[in-house]
Structure 1
């Protein structure tokens, strides 16, 4: 189905709802005591420093500093809600860190082993499940996307570069071949980590970020074989930069999105670039593509699969397979996690799904290869991993976001929103800096029948 453009009366800039109060009672007392013991045991194995106030007790082996301002609240929240409670305790100010991303990077590198293995087996019994209204069905998907991307175009413009690219950049570094990847992957390249670079004014970006975003897009277009006359489908418009660059190559572009705010600004940017006749932007769920009967020489999608949901990965790739013309190519940029962690965390409700991306879930490269091999004629033939580049991209976004605090508040957001987004950006940066998360450009071609 093609969705109706239903713009809200005003942009949702009222800030985030406050975290719930921790209930008192025996259950909270017991779970807090367990959380305290597990946290102390984990910290004792980590290169961090944790200071419990007001006693001044110090934990850890030394390293990035975390201050527990209200330990009782912290342990109660973690005991009741696990990692969601950990993040919410930051939002309430129960703990803080001067270098939030640096601190979070240390435990992120040991995420799979911080909880003793016998307790990990109980995960399914104690971990909250993803709410049904967050699942990325056709009925829910537009609301899920709107929750994040329709906050305010002006907000995103405050910390993104001038290309308005909200995905990992690709800085000017070399690629290292690492041999074969999982399954049928052919060329498997890893991008050399970039050198951190900043402007003197943290509210401004170094110009190489926009160049790096352009490099990322141009490589995807090259991988998809986009040239003059190519019929391109883009799943997930963003704010239109990829569509503009594809049209500049002489391609005709059909780009779809579920974000009303992004659609409107993308159309304006495309028209201003002089490509309104080459690019058609449409508010559409990817599942509706098959019914259109259209086919494309190239399909490109940048960091959209994360919103699909694991139940629908087969549908997503089968749809791409169905609309891809003979000889066509597919290039997807995807955030991924290790396969074993992906299997262990399916259907889990997390801090990220609660506050940032309802319905979001990260695949592994292995499961992408498995799904495409079993349910489509697409074959994964190339991979460029650039997780270190996402860590640097996020570091720059977070630095600029914090420097734009007054401008963010002027848009109608509040201090809680600032803490939510700082934690989100730092938490994400830590995931990539530690290697727990990765992002790859994946190339697919069709197997001959």
Structure 2
């Protein structure tokens, strides 16, 4: 395995921010928060306090006594910086404030679950209707053109194979598992990931002699399990790190004659396949390119074949509100990403392909448990993350990302689906 990480363009300069020390070269917007006028900061503070007072939270400002209706504690250590960041950058500022140590919680997931569950009540109605005026817009640089997609994917998946190996299970599966029961035990995570993969392969009817296209390789587990059934697999990814390690794993499994892993954009694939499988790839495609993605699935599927798709989803109204907004997740974790709704998926398939929906089921609670196990392992192995060269600000960022995602599923704001689509056999 190799380790690659973004390097500062100039020598690092550590500056104290909140309760943390931040490398100003690597994290400029965390080290130097955007300016916010006193009036705007005061207005933000008033709006936030009014909103938070209605939630099942306890909020403590600058070490004072907690106030609120009860529930998990949101501890705001630097109120001026906290309100200033949110006032100027919205939810991007909320996440950056956590990265800077300006707020924290003894139960981060619980706080974020409350906030996610009441997201439509945090911003007053009049301000929500004016979202287009105050919310940051997605930069054009994050558009998922063929070149843009390579950059966007690389920024996340090429961080380091070793980093992902520290918190994922032995299958290196980076998507929701399917458990037999809750609470899930970490020793059963690998089996639960294999169960998820087998369900997808069953939905796609992958068997001896099948030809399979996988769009979004991950680190090779699905391709390996499909090949073990006797299928021949072509798997494509835009991550060099994933491609290289997936090839190693395929060879170690003795399946190199059945699996080809290519560094290729999904739009560049040619040929027809009995089955097309894509696991949590659509979230990286971008709204603009959803039609092209589903047309590709249709074009690459042979008549009589089946598509199996796993996708994170969100409510349609919230998707519409957020689809052009520049979020903390798109800035720091998944540039160019957008989570669809089930309505968006099914409408796009219906309008742009000849595919027919054959199956859909949701299992959001399983993703919450998957993320809990990842987060706990990441936290326990913080010293090893540090040894790979990822600093304290990165570790707070990644903790926030995993907790934020877990909270989305626990609150019901997010869900995850497995789909099967069919294509009519040639007459």
TM-score, normalised on structure 1? Answer: 0.88
Ranked by relative contact order (alpha carbons within 8 Å, sequence separation 6 or more), the top structure is 1
Matched, 1:169 2:181: no
Alpha-carbon distance in 1 for matches of 2:344, 2:6: 37
**Separation (CA, whole Å) in 1 of partners of 2:398 and 2:306:** 36
9-18 vs 394-403, which moves further? 9-18
Match of 1:12 among 5, 12, 19: 5
Query: Root-mean-square deviation (CA), in Å?
Result: 1.6
Q: Could you tell me whether the CA contact under 8 Å between 2:3 and 2:161 is conserved in 1?
A: no
Unpaired segments of 5 or more residues in structure 2? Answer: 9-25
Q: Does 1:137 align with 2:155?
A: no
Please report how far the alpha carbon of residue 11 of structure 1 lies from its aligned counterpart in structure 2 after TM superposition.
1.1
1:66-145 map, 5 Å: 66-145=74-153
The whole-number CA distance in structure 2 between the counterparts of 1:447 and 1:372 is 14
2:377 paired residue number:
400
Distance of 2:194 and 2:206 partners within structure 1: 15
Q: Which residue of 2 aligns with 1:196?
A: 183
| Partner Cα distance (1:33, 1:162) in 2 | 49
SS in 2 for 1:395: helix
What's the counterpart of residue 54 of structure 2? 45
Report the Cα distance in structure 2 between the residues aligned to 1:409 and 1:333, rounded to whole angstroms.
32
Q: What is the total number of aligned residue pairs between the two structures?
A: 408
In the alignment, does 2:378 pair up with 1:370? no
Cα deviation for residue 23 of structure 1 reads 4.2
Deviation of the 1:134 alpha carbon: 0.6
| C-alpha distance 126-51 of structure 1, shift in aligned 2 (>3 A) | same
The alignment status of 1:31 with 2:40, answered yes or no, reads yes
> Could you tell me whether the CA contact under 8 Å between 2:298 and 2:353 is conserved in 1?
yes
Which sections of structure 1, spanning at least 5 residues, go unmatched? 1-6, 173-193, 199-205
TM-score (ref. length: structure 2): 0.93
* C-alpha contact 1:13 1:411 (8 A) present in aligned 2: no
Aligned to 1:188: none
Q: Deviation digits for residues 248-269 of structure 1, max 9, x if unmatched? A: 0000000000000000000000
Moved over 6 A (4+): none
* Matched position secondary structure for 1:140: helix
Distance 2:209 2:184 in 1: 38
| C-alpha contact 2:110 2:407 (8 A) present in aligned 1 | yes
Measured after TM superposition, the shift of residue 22 of structure 1 is: 2.8
Q: Are 2:343 and 1:359 equivalent residues in the alignment?
A: no
Partner Cα separation in structure 2 for residue 28 and residue 325 of structure 1: 59
Residues 231, 298 of structure 1: 8 Å contact kept: yes
Q: Displacement of 1:95 after TM fit?
A: 0.4
**SS of match in other structure, 2:334:** coil
- Are the aligned partners of 1:14 and 1:414 in contact in 2 as well (CA < 8 Å)? no
